[in-house]
Structure 1
């Protein structure tokens, strides 16, 4: 069983946040939700309606939080997920988010980003030379960060798995779980070898 950290905050997209948490738990993994504080975060529902040039936003459910960003010890986690919505826009400036996200990228551990989630590693200079999906209007943002943008539902670049948004979650989840299981298996072998 892997321990997967989910970094989120108020105005994170509801499906982007809850679907991975439930899917990871369904697969037998531990999903640990972290946010600026330990109070439940207020999610939002983004939808696409006729007559609108952009998505609409409505209040969503509350998502319980396990840890504040400052309490996170990334050494205790095996992987990271950054859901979309508006939360990535402002959590990317948090020094604890930078500390935590950098840990996963520096060690080549699984990182999943959904929709606007790539805004966090982009702001930290961690997308340079990588290939990523994102919400399509962010194409120029990820390219400015030095990444190659792919308009796809399950883009895998090493241990990083990304998608465009909640309609992609079934394919993204399948790809992320595959990367997570491969990574967990390799780390398990390393632990056995180091114990000898």
Structure 2
């Protein structure tokens, strides 16, 4: 089975972190969740984003998620794949040069990368989506296009695979997104 790295931070989308973290483990994969500046056992705050008929999503407090890995100790060669959840974390994680290099390593090594929702912000900042078909939360469409990607406006329950990249618009796509990602892991 695969060893999957999840990069997250405070106010990551709760479902987009917890569901893949648990589901991939249930499938037999080893999953390590890290955050820059935090150690194993430390927590990050999550946020729950919901679609309730407003012009954009609503945000509610999630829970504290305990990390099980140390970002500073990550050796990318030891991992088979990368998963990037959405929420607000990608907007500031993309400012961290080490995070950008980590994303670039997985892309250059042709290892599977799964990103959902605002996770596309990290992909765009790392310049790894040029000429790729990418789905994301619709508010990220301009960033995808500016980074040379083809933004795919798909159903909120669908996902898209382009080579080793699997992307989806938001957590309602978990069944399709995780199924496509798991196919690349096996």
Structure 2 matches for 1:80-159, cutoff 5 A?
Answer: 80-152=82-154, 153-159=158-164
Separation (CA, whole Å) in 2 of partners of 1:85 and 1:162: 14
CA apart distance, 1:100: 1.2
Equivalent position to 2:44, from 24, 41, 45: 41
Stretches of 4+ moved more than 6 A in 1? none
Residue in structure 2 matched with residue 68 of structure 1 by the alignment: 70
Count of matched residue pairs? 180
TM-score (norm 1): 0.89
Please tell me whether the aligned partners of residues 155 and 163 of structure 1 are also in contact (alpha carbons under 8 angstroms): yes
Distance 1:112 1:106 in 2: 15
SS in 2 for 1:18: helix
Q: Provide the rounded CA distance (Å) in 1 between the counterparts of 2:29 and 2:86.
A: 21
Larger radius of gyration: 1
Q: Which residue of 2 aligns with 1:194?
A: none
- In structure 2, C-alpha distance between the alignment counterparts of 1:47 and 1:118, rounded to whole Å: 19
Deviation at residue 132 of structure 1 after TM alignment: 0.6
Describe the superposition over 1:94-123 as per-residue Cα deviations: whole angstroms up to 9, x where unpaired. 122122111100011000001000100101
Give yes or no for contact 1:70–1:96 (8 Å, CA) kept in 2. no
TM-score (norm: length of structure 2):
0.93
1:176 aligns with 2:181: yes
Deviations for 1:145-190, whole angstroms, at most 9, x for unmatched residues? 1000112321101010000000111110111100111xxxxxxxxx
What RMSD, in angstroms, separates the aligned Cα atoms of the two structures?
1.0
